[in-house]
Amino acid sequence: MVDTKRRLLRAGQDILAGLDGEPRNGILLFDEPGNGKTMFAEALAGELDISFFPVAFGDMASKWINETPETLRVDSWVSGSR
C-alpha cells in the first residue's frame, strides 16, 4: 500500500494546487464495501489538512432533477466542510 498512499497523496497535492492555481474537485474512490476506502480517504484528508465528508449513493440518488447537487451543496456547507 506504500505506492498507493504515495500516488494518492501526490494526486491530492496536485488537485489542491490546480492547473490554473484554483483548487479542483476531489478524488473518487470506488470498490466493494469493507475494503478500507473511507479509512484511507480520512487519512489522506488528514495528511492534506483538508475537510473530509463521505458521500454514499443514497445521499446522491433522487428522482428530481437538480435536487441531489443542491442537497449535497447545502449539507456540505451546513456541516462545515468545503
pLDDT, one tens digit per residue, over 5-53 is 899 999 888 888 876 666 677 788 888 989 988 899 999 999 999 888 7
What local confidence, expressed as pLDDT, does residue 57 receive? 72
| pLDDT exceeds 50 at position 79 | no
Domain range annotation of the chain: 1-50, 56-82
Contact 53, 47 (CB under 8 A): no
> Where are any strands of DSSP class E within 1-82?
none
pLDDT score for 19: 67
Alpha carbon distance 35, 20 (integer Å): 34
Sequence-distant (6+) residues with CB within 8 A of 42 are 52
Using a cut of 0.75, tell me whether the model's pTM lies above it: no
Indicate the DSSP class of residue 50.
-
pLDDT of the residue at 78: 47
